[in-house]
Amino acid sequence: MNILWLITVLLMLLAAGLMFYGAQKSNHPRHIHRRFREALQQEGIQISARFKPLNLEEALQAMLEKASRSELEEMKHLLLQAGWSGPSATFTFLLLGWMLPMAFGLLAGFYAILNDAPGMNVLFHLIFAFAATFVLVRRLLRWKAQKRRDAIRKEVIPFLHLLRMLFEAGLSLEHILLVIEQQGRDLIPNLAKELDMVIKRIQTGQDRADALVEMAAPLDVPELSDTIAMLKQVTRYGGNVRDSLAEYTTLTEQRQISQLREYVSKLSAKMTIVMVLFLFPALMAFLAGPGFIGLTKALKGMGG
């Protein structure tokens, strides 16, 4: 019963933490508090730092980042590749990455207690469920990041064709990026989302080449990085980029065709294994079954 009470208390603490987090999210944003404090200071009213209101979200985020400091940088990198960038996405994933394993671990321990399991089995259920969920959440993030990187790699060729077409129309690079982001969302949805961030950075005054490099570098897609390198060269040094884009488009298409042929050859080998394991025994039973049955009947007749 002591373990049951402990798990009940932990579940209540977990629910209370989620309620506090929800209440904190419904409060006014931090910039409103900052402006209110600045207005009071202009009126001559000073607010001491000792009376700074407790921000539960910041405290919880600092605690989660401290607990995940060994994997925090990799996690941010994977979140960016998965399309979830920003401090709020990092905080949400950290919260889920720790709360879900705790919840599933407590549920597994509670299930073991309901089945009258001994104390060691309860502890084993709790630790196993926590560890499995902990690893699964991070595996899902890596899978999502790799899946989006593969999708972006497939979108590079349509992106190159759009670049060639718009360069031939005489548009500037910034106008080209704006047109592709607005008109190409159905064709290249993932790249259009990344280009939206590039356009916002350019509009805030950042250099176009730097904004493009900052977009391509974390994604770690070789075809996209090479394309951005060509656009960077055109942005800074000028020149005719249409011929370079045409040659690189042909090279990228040939590379993807080679990868597709390699995939088909590997798939053929896998299908051969499947056929040997499942189809060949059925085929042998269909072909050799009647003869085996007739031989069995003949041997029985000789013995009778």
Place of tokens 């595996």: 139
Range from 51-65, 154-168, 186-200, 213-227 carrying the lowest mean pLDDT: 51-65
pLDDT band at 149 (very low <50, low <70, confident <90, very high): very high
Query: In whole angstroms, how far apart are CA 186 and each of 34, 181, 295?
Result: 41, 10, 65
Q: What is the pLDDT of residue 1?
A: 46
Statement: residue 236 has pLDDT above 60 = yes
Task: Establish how many alpha carbons lie within 13 A of residue 209's alpha carbon, considering only the half-sphere containing its beta carbon.
Answer: 11
Residues 6 or more apart whose CB falls under 8 angstroms from that of 248 comprise 160, 226, 227, 230
**By the 8 A CB rule, do 231 and 173 touch?**
yes
Place of tokens 């933490």: 17
Whole-angstrom Cα distance, residue 130 to residue 136? 10
pLDDT band at 144 (very low <50, low <70, confident <90, very high): very high
Range from 47-61, 164-178, 285-299 carrying the lowest mean pLDDT: 47-61
Answering whether pTM is above 0.95, one says no
Each residue's pLDDT tens digit, 50-88: 444 445 666 666 777 777 777 888 888 888 888 887 778
